[in-house]
Amino acid sequence: MSPGMYRRQRNWGARVLEYEVKGMRAVFLENEKLRVGVLAGKGADIFEFNYKPLDMDFVWLTAGGVRDPSSYLSTSPDPLATFLDHYPGGWQEVFPNGGAPSSYLGAQFGQHGEVSNLPWDYEIVEDGEEAVAVSFFVRTQKTPFYLEKELSLRSGESSLRIEEVLVNESEASLHAMWGHHIAFGQPFLEEGCRIYLPEGTMVVPHSEPIHPAGRRVRGGRTYAWPFAEGYDGRHVDLSVLPERGEVSEMLYLTGLSEGWYEVENPEKGLGLRVEWDVGQMPYLWFWQEYGASEFYPWYGRHYNIGLEPFSSFPTNGIREAVENGTALSIDPRERRRFSLMVSVSECGGGKSKGACV
């Protein structure tokens, strides 16, 4: 079922709505509990994930918010700015380069290039009051890949399901990094929120800090989640979000026995659970920005985290991932599948550990 201006519409049960947002095509999947907004015109970014009973949007938006990358010309284009100048927050697909600008087989990639900045096509594949599903698909420009993801909602449920297919359309064996750049912030996230992960997880920090003022934990080591050694000699509990003003940090969690995490706000009585195929994406990137960064592009304006399932690490680009053996190796004409589900739950403010589970 192709998108169309005059297709049948419905304002009850599960439904699909099509709009323009800031000059870009956007698709909304909606039911009685969730409204999920997807920017088809830019990266198929999820820029709204609203839990309707409490009007709580779990998507964090940057100070710049949603902007059409084609609407203006950057005054000083560079490989970082191609992503950051148009970064709305929310949730991006990252492929085939994760993190810093990098090169591979003669192709130069900018930050998180390249599908996050491409427009995606879409097709409505199911449109009934009991369930809706929309398929978004794109071909990369610098590399010979096809990526498709189907988002679906069922009536009465507070879960979004995503099924993906990645295809190498060439006759060459290729490497890639593949991940979901999921960020949380205001209005859901605040000091005291908690993160729950499977047991046996290890934290692997960079040897050098990402913030000029230093870092929260001693670098170049591995730790058992959730405690790490701080520079003052005390244990840092990474599962509890600190006060605003703490320095930034970037950690990687590996050795995951299962692919899931939960972020809980006990004061608001809300939690979000993300479940994914850990075989395809065995790493979880943990980006922390707590308002201490007074430089481009944050300037002390944000309090947010990213919990990002990834195929590879660290966030230094595809060249390093190939060298350290964590990059995906995709055979000629090979198809890879991946699945992910995001669910909202209410738990009553101030309850004990894991109350939203």
Tell me the pLDDT tens digit for each residue of 158-176.
Answer: 999 999 999 999 999 999 9
Q: Which residue has the higher pLDDT, 12 or 328?
A: 328
What is the pLDDT at residue 313? 94
| Amino acid sitting at position 293 | S
pLDDT digit string, tens, across residues 108-118: 998 888 999 99
Q: How far apart are CA 30 and CA 33, in angstroms?
A: 8
Write down the residue that tokens 């979880």 correspond to.
284
- 15-346, what's its fold? Beta-galactosidase; Chain A, domain 5 (2.70.98)
Using pLDDT thresholds of 50, 70 and 90, give the confidence band for residue 4: low
What is the pLDDT at residue 351? 39
What is the pLDDT at residue 81? 82
What is the pLDDT at residue 155? 97
pLDDT digit string, tens, across residues 285-319: 999 999 988 888 889 899 999 999 999 999 999 99
What is the pLDDT at residue 295? 84
Residue 212 has pLDDT above 90, yes or no: no
What is the pLDDT at residue 349? 43
Mean pLDDT along residues 225-236: 87
Mean predicted lDDT score pLDDT of the chain: 91
Using pLDDT thresholds of 50, 70 and 90, give the confidence band for residue 220: confident
Distance of alpha carbon 208 from the chain centroid: 24
Which residues, at least 6 apart from 283, have a Cβ–Cβ distance to it below 8 Å? 252, 253, 254, 309, 310, 311, 312, 313, 326
Using pLDDT thresholds of 50, 70 and 90, give the confidence band for residue 137: very high
Q: Which residue has the higher pLDDT, 234 or 132?
A: 132
What is the pLDDT at residue 232? 76
User: Beta 24-30 vs 34-39: how paired, if at all?
Assistant: antiparallel
pLDDT digit string, tens, across residues 35-93: 999 999 999 999 999 999 999 999 999 888 888 888 777 777 788 888 888 888 899 99
b/e 312-343 (16+ beta carbons within 10 angstroms → b): bbbbbbbbbbbeeebbbebeeeeebebebebb
Contact 223, 184 (CB under 8 A): no
Q: How far apart are CA 229 and CA 351, in angstroms?
A: 28
Whole-number percent of the chain with pLDDT over 90: 71
What is the pLDDT at residue 71? 79
Among 49, 282, 331, 70, residue whose Cα is nearest residue 182: 49
